[in-house]
Structure 1
Amino acid sequence: MSGHPHTGLLQSVTRALRVLDHVAAAPGPLPAREISRALGLTLPTTYHLLSTLVNGGYLVHLADEKAYALGHRVDDLARGLHRQIAVPPEIRRVAAVTHRQARAAAYYAMLRDTEMIVAHVAECPEHPRIRPLDVGFHHAPHATAFGKLMLAMLEPGAADDVLDATGTPRVTAATVTDRRMLRRQLDQIRATGLAVEVDEFQADLSCMAAPVTDATGRFVGAVAISLPTRDLRDHRWAAERAVRIGAVRATRAVALTTAVRTGRCQADRARP
């Protein structure tokens, strides 16, 4: 098992994850030769990686089809992620109120390292979420309001590292892909405390996000909404007010939750 000299990443693990990602992105089961060809791996190496993933339950081998598909362990991982990012009832209530007041789907996104991940969604048939903004979504930070907010709040070097890793691909015709223009957006977000994207993630849909901080003032997440662009233009100030108030309420809820947890820990340590 060899490592990349400059990153310290284990090459065999990296290759196995690439195989898993490739199978997950496919519309159906894939034969080994197709995986080998797509990823530029030798066939023996591909079979070795596939066997390892099958043995771990991350893939299954469909003998009749001579192909590979996702295994049950992937679903276990997804459920584990949902457990770990589950938000407290106070945050869920904030999202529900923001949803009603903004008349738009409302989201709570949390910062995890250098990713903004959707942790909770409040929606209704009249104001549904943007697909694919489901719980766990974290892609395209340059094209989503909560992603832009994260980039604005990170240190400049850290934001550049994120963009180097994710790139700035064109998601729609309106997506800002130029780094200089994106930096100007981030400067404006820092100045106003609000991130807005118009038609950048999906055509005719817009998003707005405001920052949530913990008791020390550290950026930890965002309250966001999504709505048709025409509604944003017609009801911009009402929507912005709902998002900003939601972020303030969420900040208070985070501080309260942290205080309660700290108190419990101190009480546990004080017990004989």
Structure 2
Amino acid sequence: MANATAAGHALRALTHLASRAEPVPAAHLARALGLPRSSTYHLLTVLVEHGYVVHYAEDRAYGLGSAVHELGAGYQRQDPLQRLARPHVERLVDTTTHNAHLAVLTGRDVLYVIEERAAGRPSLVTDVGVRLPATLTASGLAVLAALPRRQVTALYPSAAVMVDGGPETPSALRRELVTTRARGYALEVGSIQPELSSVASAVRDRDRHPVAAVAITFRNEEIDQVAQAELASATQRVAEAIGSRL
């Protein structure tokens, strides 16, 4: 139990240091953790020895060490989003019998990281590793609609960065995102392939920040508005399930 308590203090210390823009004195950390200074110094000594904390002696302050970066790099190498999301996307295809995918936002593009095909469904131009302008896709619109407005403005400051086939101006994009939020899901009709449409929902992490989007693509002629809403609800359930795992 004592070891578990010490581990908890160490994790709290690292979390607090990660929340600060600059290294902090040991006294500050002791107050933040509610620990005696002697315990805090002992904890910091252990973390420094293992590379998780750096002691800036000239500033009498402590900051995060390189071992924390290695943890982050290891997290990325293991592709946790893809590992956690794939079974859910596979089940989405099985239950809806439509093609489904998971995409992440990179700059003003979406990058497709999971593609699951349903038997007998049309071939798609999207595939793992393919990038498309975010404003043309349901996945991209779903993520953009979940971002803070200031971040969207930073991504799309002027008409010069808009792409053909999507909203032509930043104000037109903002209106589209308002509609997306009001609808509860993103919708793309024929922007990528004329005969196909997609619905998508954003995957949010524990801080409610959008990290990806789950989408279903279908033939326009096969799906009416009622069926479209049902498919959209399916993407919402899967997006929430993935988000709860992150």
Same fold (TM over 0.5): yes
Q: Do 2:82 and 2:113's aligned partners in 1 also have CA atoms closer than 8 Å?
A: no
Find out whether 1:196 has 2:169 as its counterpart: no
Find out whether 1:240 has 2:239 as its counterpart: no
Cα distance change on mapping 1:128 and 1:93 into 2, 3 Å: farther
In the TM superposition, what are the counterparts of 1:7-156 in structure 2 within 5 Å? 87-112=81-106, 115-128=109-122, 130-131=124-125, 133-156=126-149
Cα distance change on mapping 1:106 and 1:89 into 2, 3 Å: same
1:91-140 CA-partner distances (Å, limit 9, x unpaired) = 11100111122221111112446653211111134125520x11122321
Provide the TM-score with structure 1 as the length reference.
0.54
1:15-46 CA-partner distances (Å, limit 9, x unpaired) = xxxxxxxxxxxxxxxxxxxxxxxxxxxxxxxx
Shift of residue 245, structure 1, vs aligned partner: 1.3
Find out whether 1:184 has 2:175 as its counterpart: yes
In the TM superposition, what are the counterparts of 1:157-236 in structure 2 within 5 Å? 157-164=150-157, 167-171=161-165, 175-233=166-224, 235-236=227-228
What corresponds to 2:14 in structure 1? Answer: none
SS of match in other structure, 2:135 = coil
Amino acid at match of 1:158: Q
SS of match in other structure, 2:121 = coil
Using the alignment, how far apart are the partners of 1:212 and 1:104 within structure 2?
Answer: 19
Using the alignment, how far apart are the partners of 2:223 and 2:156 within structure 1?
Answer: 27
SS of match in other structure, 1:221 = strand
Amino acid at match of 2:219: P
Using the alignment, how far apart are the partners of 1:201 and 1:168 within structure 2?
Answer: 15
Q: Do 2:97 and 2:119's aligned partners in 1 also have CA atoms closer than 8 Å?
A: no
Using the alignment, how far apart are the partners of 1:128 and 1:85 within structure 2?
Answer: 28
Q: Which runs of 4+ in 1 moved over 6 A?
A: none
Q: Do 2:103 and 2:111's aligned partners in 1 also have CA atoms closer than 8 Å?
A: yes
Find out whether 1:251 has 2:240 as its counterpart: no
Cα distance change on mapping 1:230 and 1:143 into 2, 3 Å: same
Note the aligned Cα RMSD (angstroms).
2.7
The size of the alignment, in residue pairs, is 169
List alignment gaps of at least 5 residues for structure 2: 1-75
Using the alignment, how far apart are the partners of 1:155 and 1:192 within structure 2?
Answer: 18
Provide the TM-score with structure 2 as the length reference.
0.59
Structure label with greater radius of gyration? 2
List alignment gaps of at least 5 residues for structure 1: 1-81, 255-272
Q: Do 2:135 and 2:141's aligned partners in 1 also have CA atoms closer than 8 Å?
A: yes
1:30-84 CA-partner distances (Å, limit 9, x unpaired) = xxxxxxxxxxxxxxxxxxxxxxxxxxxxxxxxxxxxxxxxxxxxxxxxxxxx977
What corresponds to 1:36 in structure 2? Answer: none
SS of match in other structure, 1:118 = strand
Identity %: 23
Shift of residue 88, structure 1, vs aligned partner: 4.0
Q: Do 1:102 and 1:238's aligned partners in 2 also have CA atoms closer than 8 Å?
A: no
